[in-house]
Structure 1
Amino acid sequence: MRRAVCPGSFDPITNGHLDIIARASKLYDVVHVAVMINQSKKGLFTVEERIELIREVTADFGNVEVESFHGLLVDFCKQRDIPAIVKGLRAVSDFDYELQMAQMNNGLTGVETLFVPTNPTYSFLSSSLVKEVAPRGGDVSHQVPPTGQPPLTPRQARK
């Protein structure tokens, strides 16, 4: 069984994230979406809310499992026998950082990293940008997947 992981904070999940997860789900039998727990950062959404949102927007894929993790991603992979990490690249600057991380991960445990170029439609998009625009009244509804949840409002973004 071919397995991979798509890691991130997903705070909030964007259409760019969803595009990479969807593309990975066509390449692998099972795609684990690993929601990073960072105790030093105050998230917009709780980890539980992020997991639920991701489960909702990936439900139709049929082969996506969503869970949280803390610590090293390679330990998450080792515990679940996942040999590959799938990462989206928006720009050359992403590649510079991600290549170093991929080489470290491979050196630690032999886990491979597959780089997927971002769909040009989402090349500028990041969770940080969404969190910056939403509190100022900007409409980010076309940058995040539609869910059963209400759209991100300025009040939510300030929490």
Structure 2
Amino acid sequence: MNRAIFPGTFDPFTIGHYSVVRRALTFMDEVVIGIGINENKNTYFPIQKRLDMIQKFYKAEPRIKVMTYDCLTIDFAQKVEAKFIVRGIRTVKDFEYEETIADINRKLAGIETILLFTEPELTCISSTIVRELLSYDKDISAFIPEGLEL
């Protein structure tokens, strides 16, 4: 079975994240969305709320599991027996960062990283921007998947 993890903070889960998951399912048997606990990040939604939102959103998709983790991403991948890490990239800056992490992950654990380029119409969307819009009570419905309940 080809299982991948899709790690991130997902604060909140955007249409960009949804796109990566949808596309990964075209070549993976299963995708584990791993919500990383990062005490250094100021999050908008508590971890349990993010977990509940994404689990509820994908409740009808048996090929997707949603979990939290508070260890190195490669340790989480090994824990869930994933052979791959899937990441979405929007910019050259994202690519350079992800390439470095992918090289380290391969050296440390033999886990391959698959980079999916963001669809052009989604490159401007980031959780950071969506959080900022939320903090000013702006409508974010165009930036989150239809059916995701905040």
Q: Into which bin does the TM-score normalised by the smaller protein fall?
A: over 0.9
User: Could you tell me which residue of structure 1 aligns to residue 135 of structure 2?
Assistant: 135
How many Å apart are 1:24 and its aligned residue?
Answer: 0.9
Aligned pair in 2 of structure 1 residues 140, 95: CA closer, same or farther (>3 Å)? same
Give 3-state SS (helix, strand or coil) of 1:18's partner.
helix
Q: Where in structure 2 are the equivalents of 1:98-117 lying within 5 Å?
A: 98-117=98-117
1-structure distance, mates of 2:128, 2:119: 18
Q: Where in structure 2 are the equivalents of 1:2-151 lying within 5 Å?
A: 2-147=2-147, 149=149
2-structure distance, mates of 1:132, 1:27: 34
Give structure 1 stretches of 5+ with no counterpart.
Answer: 151-159
Q: Deviations over 1:64-86 (max 9, x none)?
A: 00000112000011122211000
1-structure distance, mates of 2:111, 2:97: 17
Q: Deviations over 1:27-64 (max 9, x none)?
A: 11111000000123332111111111111222343300
How many Å apart are 1:134 and its aligned residue?
Answer: 2.4
TM-score under structure 2 length normalisation: 0.93
Q: Which has a greater percent of helix?
A: 1
Identical amino acids, percent of aligned pairs: 33
2-structure distance, mates of 1:148, 1:84: 26
TM-score under structure 1 length normalisation: 0.88
Q: Which amino acid aligns with 1:106?
A: R
Give 3-state SS (helix, strand or coil) of 1:5's partner.
strand
Give structure 2 stretches of 5+ with no counterpart.
Answer: none
Verify the 8 A CA contact 1:86 1:114 in the aligned structure 2: yes
Please say which of residues 16-25 and 138-147 is displaced more in the overlay.
138-147
2-structure distance, mates of 1:64, 1:148: 15
How many Å apart are 1:139 and its aligned residue?
Answer: 2.1
Structure possessing the higher relative contact order (Cα contacts under 8 Å, 6 or more residues apart): 2
Give 3-state SS (helix, strand or coil) of 1:107's partner.
helix
Verify the 8 A CA contact 2:7 2:87 in the aligned structure 1: yes
How many Å apart are 1:148 and its aligned residue?
Answer: 6.1
Q: Which amino acid aligns with 2:125?
A: L
| Aligned residues between the structures | 150
1-structure distance, mates of 2:61, 2:124: 25
